[in-house]
Structure 1
Amino acid sequence: MRTVSRISIAPVKSLALQHPDEVRIESFGIAADRFFYLVDRTGRLFSGSLFGPLTAIRPEYDPGQEWLTLHFPDGEAVSGDAAFLGEPIETGIWGRPITGHVVGGAFAEALSRFAGRPIRLARVDRPGDGVDSQPISVLSDASVEELARRSGRTEPLDGRRFRMTVGVAGCTAHEEDTWIGHDVRVGEAVIRVTRPDGRCVVTTRDPETGVRDFDTLRAIRAYRGVRDERKIDFGVYARVAEPGRVRVGDRVEPI
């Protein structure tokens, strides 16, 4: 039986993941997922592909109180009102323009100190806009295990490095690829699997520290090949067909 093994969200894009036991998936995705993001002094997206150690910063966001805390690896914690908004800003995410507002308070100073360059925290104007491409990503545990096996690893591979929304247990390796073009019921929600998830350099980094520790891209390419001469696929993307609540342990059923 296929079940949800893990739910992952990133309240702040590129920072550490959170793993709630349950979420509500709306038509646009999960409201708290990638609700905040980082930009440089020009308004350009500043992400984990540019600076891996971002994933070592642990965010805590209370949407009811609109209160955000960032826990830095040296023990520093910076908190503030996430509704304290400054100037409007337009940023490109994978060629797609989104609008947001810079978040005021002490966040910029702390983030800039950590990154060694001027960085600001921003908040999307419209929930769901902060994702890379589509609101939901899915990856089976068996696919991660197969990658480790093919690579000759003796230690388990931490699947969190792929930053998928929904992890699935009870599948065969890469079974999720066969769901492309089909609807899949996940708990109370229904998602429409649309295309493969082309991976980037972030997956080569330890999900706790952001330090490169395994060349996932080379390993995936070695046995899965390349799509369109450059895309290295691992897992799938999906849109939301029917909103609903999803819990760890819920059944996952292709329709």
Structure 2
Amino acid sequence: METTVTRLGFTPLKGTRHTAYDAITLDAAGPVGDREWCLVEPGAARVLRTINEPLLATTVEAEGDHLRVTLGDGRSASGRLVIADEPVAVDYWGRRILVTPYDGEPAGLLAEQVGRPVRLARAGRGDVVFGAPVSLLGTASVRDLATRMGRPDLVDQSERFRSTILVETDEPWVEDSWVGQDVRVGETVVHVTGRIGRCGVPNRHPVTALADAPVLKALAGYRPANDAGDPYLAVDAVVVTPGVVRLGDVLDTP
């Protein structure tokens, strides 16, 4: 089987719905537009930790300083954002970063959705990315997980795993063997740095955000894990050669 790209995705605002694209541009910092925006908690001076927040069902479209926000219940807000304050230092999982607060109608709707004081802010490229900027996952791994769980519907919910690049594979977990290698995909070359230990996000439905599948528990039953006990699914990568990746592009490994 030829290893080809079947889905490309990221989210413009950290923690919101993982959006599919026909093509993405990768540069040294990862997918252009990925997690450019975030929500911050002013009182705690930190980036909002979104795993337990009602944001996974929220879709965000971004073009420059114009955002369109659509909540899971259909409410939406669209408009240009304006800088509201000087850059401020906040915590992102133990790392101090600078973010710039913005105001506008989309910011207000996001705060309403969270239900407590938060501010919309623009982050530096890669500053609110926990691991490496690009992730890759094989379809055979998703099918293997779905079969083990007796949940065939998971095969059509690959965005649940929020990978930048999903590729068609016929061997489960073959992507583990790419660690330490350069992989060519489309115009780009990425270097696979390691396996990804998963948090609880894949337990949630990628559209409704409901916790509807014990994915983490299932993975823990048969997959290796990192030192924190997080089971591995997908691999991280950094960009070696920038360029465009498109649906249908072939992925080549050494």
User: Normalization by structure 1: what TM-score?
Assistant: 0.92
* 1:108-151 deviation per Cα after TM superposition (whole angstroms, max 9, x unaligned): 43222212211211101x22223221110111111111001112
Q: Percent identity?
A: 36
- The separation in 1 between residues aligned to 2:174 and 2:250, in whole angstroms, is 15
- The separation in 2 between residues aligned to 1:149 and 1:181, in whole angstroms, is 29
Per the alignment, residue 13 of structure 2 pairs with 12
- The separation in 1 between residues aligned to 2:84 and 2:141, in whole angstroms, is 41
For 1:46, the aligned partner's letter is: L
* 1:131-180 deviation per Cα after TM superposition (whole angstroms, max 9, x unaligned): 22111011111111100111222434411111110001134111000000
Per the alignment, residue 133 of structure 1 pairs with 131
Give yes or no for the alignment of 1:77 onto 2:79.
no
8 Å Cα contact 2:101/2:119 also seen in 1: yes
For 2:133, the aligned partner's letter is: P
* 1:27-49 deviation per Cα after TM superposition (whole angstroms, max 9, x unaligned): 11112000001111223221331
Per the alignment, residue 93 of structure 1 pairs with 92
Q: CA deviation at 1:21?
A: 0.5
Give yes or no for the alignment of 1:61 onto 2:65.
no
8 Å Cα contact 1:59/1:71 also seen in 2: yes
Per the alignment, residue 145 of structure 1 pairs with 143
Q: CA deviation at 1:94?
A: 3.0
The change in CA–CA distance for 1:160 and 1:129 in structure 2 (over 3 A counts) is same
Alignment of 1:1-255 (within 5 A): 1-42=2-43, 43-51=45-53, 53-63=54-64, 66-124=65-123, 126-157=124-155, 158-255=157-254
User: Normalization by structure 2: what TM-score?
Assistant: 0.93
* 1:172-215 deviation per Cα after TM superposition (whole angstroms, max 9, x unaligned): 11100000000000111000000111100111100001110011
8 Å Cα contact 1:108/1:118 also seen in 2: no
The change in CA–CA distance for 1:89 and 1:107 in structure 2 (over 3 A counts) is farther
The change in CA–CA distance for 1:153 and 1:74 in structure 2 (over 3 A counts) is closer
| SS at structure 1 position matched to 2:221 | helix
**Higher mean displacement: 53-62 or 76-85:** 76-85
For 1:240, the aligned partner's letter is: V
Q: CA deviation at 1:83?
A: 4.9
- The separation in 2 between residues aligned to 1:27 and 1:141, in whole angstroms, is 26
For 2:146, the aligned partner's letter is: A
For 1:137, the aligned partner's letter is: S
- Which blocks of at least 5 consecutive residues in structure 2 are unaligned? none
8 Å Cα contact 1:30/1:128 also seen in 2: no
The change in CA–CA distance for 1:89 and 1:80 in structure 2 (over 3 A counts) is farther
Q: CA deviation at 1:87?
A: 3.1
The change in CA–CA distance for 1:30 and 1:83 in structure 2 (over 3 A counts) is farther
8 Å Cα contact 2:197/2:225 also seen in 1: no
Q: CA deviation at 1:85?
A: 4.3
Root mean square deviation, CA, Å: 1.6
- Which blocks of at least 5 consecutive residues in structure 1 are unaligned? none
For 2:121, the aligned partner's letter is: A
The change in CA–CA distance for 1:251 and 1:83 in structure 2 (over 3 A counts) is farther
Aligned residues: 251
